[in-house]
Amino acid sequence: MSPGKQASESDTSPPVAAGARLEKMRRRVRLSRLALFTAIAAGPVALGGVVMSGPTPVAAAPSDKPTAVRSAAAAADPAGYAQVFVDAWLRSSADDANSAQARLAQSLAPDVDLPDPVASAQPKPAAVTAVRSAQREDGEWAVTVAAQYGDGRLRYFVVPVTADASGASFAVTGVPGAVAGPARAAVGKPPYGVSVPSDGDLSLAVGEFFGAYLTGAGEVDRYLAPGVKLSPISPAPYTAVAVQRVSAVEEAAAATKVPADGTAVHVLVQVEARDSGGRWPLGYELTLKARSGRWDVAALESGTAQDEGAR
């Protein structure tokens, strides 16, 4: 064979091979369509066989990290349920099992006995509040409830509560037990160790801000940093407010001159507010920023001040 002929056949071989592969793929597609149409005509069972004989799915590689699964019962806190029960239980009497409070207590805990107080034993609680929830095991809880009386007495009860598997239903499983109240936690030293002068620019700015925020004297917006949104209390609850003490974390808050723009300080402000009913000591944590020789409120740490919607 001549070199020219060999070169000619070599040049034409790739297109011929590609065409053959393309024709083979087309033939497979036609056969697949024919099988599918035949299965449709034959009925659902045959169609299912065609579908199941399709490409084999690729299984995802198992992850080495365990998946944390939290049951609904574990996520459901029955504190409110226990609070309602104790309130009804303390207000009920075994001598009057048909009263509204007795029926409510029995509906929440059908197997729990009602108390049997004498008429002059003690007044009914003024307020009942759940103060602690502890999960013993999956679905089983112990809820501590505080009962406050008008004469200043405070009593605590622990209530056993169970939750179903879905965490949507609860039941009190035993009578409440009188217990000692939670111990008072140790309080750390506050970070506000810098005393801010009462006649300084920062204290004056804070006083004007709270005058607008608590009494409605002026617009709150004029005391806010750019981008910060804060609505005043409406209607204004107090008629007058006076700053009693300002403490700060940073030394810059106590400077005689307002520092450079953008300087931020964190302060604790104690104010005395007055209304027709008397005077009320109030406390607030604020973040202020320096801007153009003045202090602007950048955040009210109660969470009501929003910096461009981020807080």
Q: pLDDT (tens digit, 9 = 90+) per residue, 221-260?
A: 999 999 999 988 999 999 999 999 999 999 999 998 999 9
Mean pLDDT of 87-115: 92
C-alpha pair distances (Å), 51 with each of 55, 88, 130: 9, 62, 58
Q: How far apart are alpha carbons 180 and 197 in whole angstroms?
A: 44
Please state which CATH class domain 194-307 belongs to.
alpha beta
pLDDT of residue 139: 84
Mean pLDDT of 279-297: 97
Q: What is the DSSP letter of 193?
A: -
73-179 against 194-307: fold identical: yes
Average pLDDT, the chain: 81
Which of 174, 21, 195, 196 lies closest to 89, judged by CA?
A: 174
Q: Would you mind telling me the total number of residues written for the chain in this entry?
A: 311
Q: How far apart are alpha carbons 296 and 224 in whole angstroms?
A: 5
Q: How far apart are alpha carbons 174 and 109 in whole angstroms?
A: 8
CATH number of the 73-179 domain? 3.10.450.540
What phi and psi, each to the nearest 5 degrees, are found at residue 21? -65, -40
Instruction: Please state the pTM of the whole predicted model.
Output: 0.63
What residues does each domain of the chain span? 73-179, 194-307
Q: How far apart are alpha carbons 26 and 19 in whole angstroms?
A: 11
pLDDT of residue 115: 92
Q: What is the DSSP letter of 173?
A: -
Most confident range (mean pLDDT) of 35-49, 123-137, 152-166, 265-279 is 265-279
pLDDT of residue 77: 87
Q: How far apart are alpha carbons 165 and 150 in whole angstroms?
A: 39
Which of 228, 223, 220 lies closest to 307, judged by CA?
A: 228
Q: How far apart are alpha carbons 99 and 106 in whole angstroms?
A: 11
3-state DSSP assignment of residue 45: helix
